[in-house]
Amino acid sequence: MTHQYDDISVALHDHVAVVEIQRPPHNFFDVSLIRQIANAFDTLDDDPSCRAIVLASDGKSFCAGANFGSGGNDTSASAEFTEEGFMSTTGTLY
C-alpha cells in the first residue's frame, strides 16, 4: 500500500488491513478524517489481496466525538460535504 494520509496509517498483512486513526489522545473526527478513512477503505476494497479491514486508533480514546467547527476560514465542513463524507464512509463500512 503506497498511499500516504495525514491522520491515519494503513498496513496490510496476511490479507488483513489495519486502518489506524492517529490523532491521539482522543482521535476527534472531522471532515478531513472522514475523507481519509473513506479513501483508504475504497482503495482497500479495490485491492484483491485485502480480505478484511480493522479500524483502530492510537491513544486513550478510540474516538471522543466530532469536531466539525474547525474555524471560520475552513469551508470544507459545509453541511453538504459533511453529509457526503459521512455517507461515503458509512456506505463503505456497510
- The string of DSSP codes covering the chain is -----SSEEEEEETTEEEEEE--TTT--B-HHHHHHHHHHHHHHHT-TT--EEEEEESSS-S---B-----TT--TT-HHHHHHHHHHHHHHH-
How many domains are there within the chain?
1
Q: Is residue 1 part of a domain?
A: no
More confident residue, 6 or 91: 6
pLDDT at 10: 97
Q: Is residue 83 part of a domain?
A: yes
Each residue of 21-80: pLDDT tens digit?
999 998 998 878 888 998 999 999 999 999 999 999 998 889 888 886 654 455 555 555
Q: Is residue 2 part of a domain?
A: no
pLDDT at 69: 65
Q: Is residue 54 part of a domain?
A: yes
Checking if the pLDDT of 13 tops 80, the result is yes
Q: Is residue 68 part of a domain?
A: yes
Q: Is residue 93 part of a domain?
A: no
Residue range of the domain that includes 48: 8-88
Checking if the pLDDT of 19 tops 70, the result is yes
pLDDT at 72: 45
